[in-house]
Amino acid sequence: MLKMSVIAPALLVATTAVLAACKPAPPFKEYPYPAWGFVARFWALPQTTETPPAPGQPHSLLLESKEAGRDFVVSVGEGVRPDVDIDQIGPQYAQRAAKAMEAEVGPETYTSTGEGVLGREYAITKNGRPYATIRAFLANGRFYEIGAQSPLGPDDPAVKGFLDTFRITKAPPAVPPPPANAAPADAAPPNGG
C-alpha cells in the first residue's frame, strides 16, 4: 500500500505537466512585407535581419520567431537570375539549411501557395527522424525559403498552419546584386577623375 501512495502523486505531477504543455497555442498574427512581396503569419513579431546588397551578395531578409518551443523562419533573397528555376536553387538552399541544423535533407515533394505559386517542400531529418520542414518558392525575382520546426514534429498543426498561411503578393521586381568584381560605391573613380 505504501508503494501506491508514492506512485499516485508522481503520476499526478506528470499528468499536470503534460496537460500544461497541451494548452492552446496563441493565434497567428499576419505580418505583411509588401516591398518583399509576401505575407507571413507568426505568433509574435519576428526578429528581423536585413542584409544590404554588396558585390556578389544579394539583398536579403531573414525573419525568425521562436515561441512555445517552435521555430518559424522566412528567408528571402533578391536578384535571382531569370534563367534559374526552383529545381536548381531549392535543393542547394535546403542542403545549406539542413547543414546549419546538423541534419539531412529527406524527401522532396511539390507544394504551392494558395495563390498557385509552385514550389518544393523538403523534409529535414536528424538521426533518421523527422526534424523540420522547409518550403521554397521563386517569384518576383526573389527566392523565398520558409521553415518550421516543432518538438511535436512536422505533423504539429502549428507547423502546417505557419507554412500554409505564407502568401506571395505582388511586389516591385527585385534588383540584382552588383557584380562580384564591382567597385564599392564609395571608391574613387579610376585615374583620379
In percent, the amount of the chain with pLDDT more than 90 equals 61
Q: Parse the chain into domains and list their residue ranges.
A: 26-172
CATH H-level superfamily of 26-172: Mog1/PsbP, alpha/beta/alpha sandwich (3.40.1000.10)
Tens digits of per-residue pLDDT, 153-180?
Answer: 889 999 999 999 999 998 776 766 666 6
Tens digits of per-residue pLDDT, 65-96?
Answer: 999 899 999 999 998 888 899 999 999 999 99
Helix (H) or strand (E) holding 129: strand 129-139
Q: Which residue shows C-alpha cell 508522481?
A: 10
CA nearest to 123, candidates 133, 109, 110: 133
Query: Length of the chain in residues, anyone?
Result: 193
Q: What are the angstrom distances between the C-alpha of 95 and each of 7, 36, 132, 141, 155? A: 47, 24, 13, 21, 22
pTM over cut 0.75: yes
Cell reading at 174: 527585385
Give the ranges where the chain is alpha helix by DSSP (H): 2-21, 86-100, 157-164
Q: How far is CA 102 from the centre of its chain?
A: 16
For residue 4, pLDDT beyond 80: no
For residue 192, pLDDT beyond 70: no
User: What is the number of alpha carbons within 13 Å of residue 51 lying toward its C-beta?
Assistant: 15
